[in-house]
Amino acid sequence: MSVGFVYDPIFLKHDTGTHPENGDRMTATMALLEECGILNNLTRLAARAASEDEIALAHAPQYVRAVREAAEGGGGWVDPDTLITPRSYDVAAHVVGGTLDALDAVLQNEVRSAFCLVRPPGHHATPVQAMGFCLFNHVAIAAAAAVEKHGLERVAIVDYDVHHGNGTQDAFFEDGRVLYISTHEFPFYPGTGRADETGRGEGAGTTINIPMPHGSGDEEHRLAFADVVVPALRRFQPELILVSAGYDAHFADEIAMQQLSVDGYGALVAMTKAAAEELCGGKLLFAQEGGYHPVALPWCVRRTIEILRGVEPTPDPLGTVATPVPAGFDEMLARVRSLHGL
């Protein structure tokens, strides 16, 4: 069964100028995917505009209206990192609509898995606030749609962006139907994602934060997935796995201080895919979050799609870097395992 792929030139209309989160991320990635011919082997899925009611699956209706009205009024800076432009509402609505249609395609077995190459990212957007480059939380909305519209009882979100997905955590902190697992550099923006943030009420234990020390590389992330992420997925038994696919932990990406390589990311993707095949019939949806290096991001996306397709990965031009085990890593991982009984 084929791999679905979402991309639309409308994503370039969220014009942020020289901001790190700009349209060049998309054009560089699409250029590599077109050059290598991989797009010919994917099932292209359209990106439609989601309705306000669909966006409100994970956001307060008044917040959705506020973003639309801000864009219609000419836009402006929400905070020092986050810009609304005149086209931002329309673009972000298409990000959500494309992700939801990819979700439908996966759940209806039209494709086995899917990758959504979308922007702006979403995992920092809380139910009531835009922040961290993010306007609407497309992965959180997809998870909400999976349980509210499709009737799934257990949905897992794996977030390997270098930043903690505080918005996604907020959306499901008290919801035991959604397991949220995040690897992220810590301490780092946005300041959330401590190991002891584990959920509350009916969601107690279904938030799993793995706060990676500065300088964590391929082996540390592989161990985090092997010792925590995969065992947690097996215990939860999800019917669907969603991935907030941020590639800003790559060693070439200057936005952070992690040391992952394309090979390292490929290992995480392969482990997640294997878990999906074991637990939920391979139902797996990746949606773009961060990743800002003009070479590393395209190659990480290419590697991800190659693994989803089950083809031999192409060696990347950036290679790997040798890194020592960062101070505190072993203790952190042991604490996370203890907190969650893994």
In 3D, which of 55, 233, 238 has the Cα closest to residue 144?
A: 55
Backbone angles phi, psi at 243, to 5 degrees: -125, 120
In tens, the pLDDT along 135-180 reads 999 999 999 999 999 999 999 999 999 999 999 999 999 999 999 9
Scanning the chain, the segments in alpha helix (DSSP H) are: 24-36, 52-55, 61-72, 88-107, 138-148, 166-172, 218-224, 230-236, 262-279, 296-309, 329-339
Strands 155-159 and 178-185: parallel
In 3D, which of 191, 271, 183, 286 has the Cα closest to residue 233?
A: 271
**Average pLDDT, integer, range 265-285:** 98
Tell me how crowded residue 23 is: count the other CB atoms within 10 A of its CB: 18
Q: How far apart are CA 67 and CA 50, in angstroms?
A: 14
Q: How far apart are CA 129 and CA 170, in angstroms?
A: 11
In tens, the pLDDT along 282-329 reads 999 999 999 999 999 999 999 999 999 999 999 999 999 988 999 999
pTM above 0.85, yes or no: yes
| Residues sharing a CB contact under 8 Å with residue 240, sequence separation 6 or more, in sequence order | 106, 107, 146, 152, 155, 156, 280, 283, 284, 285
Q: Provide the CB-side half-sphere exposure for 74 (13 A, CA).
A: 0
From 60-64, 115-119, 205-209, 317-321, the region with the lowest mean pLDDT: 317-321
> In the chain, what are the domains?
3-339 (3.40.800.20)
Phi-psi region of 193 (alpha: psi -120 to 50; beta: other; left: phi over 0): left
Q: How far apart are CA 44 and CA 189, in angstroms?
A: 34
Per-residue pLDDT band at 127 (split at 50, 70, 90): very high
CB 265 within 8 A of CB 223: no
| pLDDT score recorded for residue 1 | 66
Q: How far apart are CA 224 and CA 222, in angstroms?
A: 5
| pLDDT score recorded for residue 292 | 98
CB 133 within 8 A of CB 156: no
Q: How far apart are CA 260 and CA 266, in angstroms?
A: 10
Q: Supply 281's token pair.
A: 């019939």
Share of the chain above pLDDT 90, in %: 99
* Cα–Cα distance list, 47 to 11, 40, 117, 188, 232 (Å): 10, 18, 10, 32, 32
CB 241 within 8 A of CB 233: yes
What SS3 state is found at 330? Answer: helix
| Residues sharing a CB contact under 8 Å with residue 53, sequence separation 6 or more, in sequence order | none
**Average pLDDT, integer, range 40-69:** 98
Question: According to the 3-state scheme, what is the secondary structure of 153-179?
Answer: CCEEEEECCCCCCHHHHHHHCCCCCEE
For the annotated catalytic residues, the residue numbers are 124
Dihedral Cα 61, 51, 172, 195, nearest 10 deg: -100
Tell whether the model's pLDDT for residue 36 goes beyond 80.
Answer: yes
Q: At what angle do helices 296-309 and 262-279 cross, to 10 degrees?
A: 30
126 has which bridge partners? Answer: 129
Tell me how crowded residue 330 is: count the other CB atoms within 10 A of its CB: 13
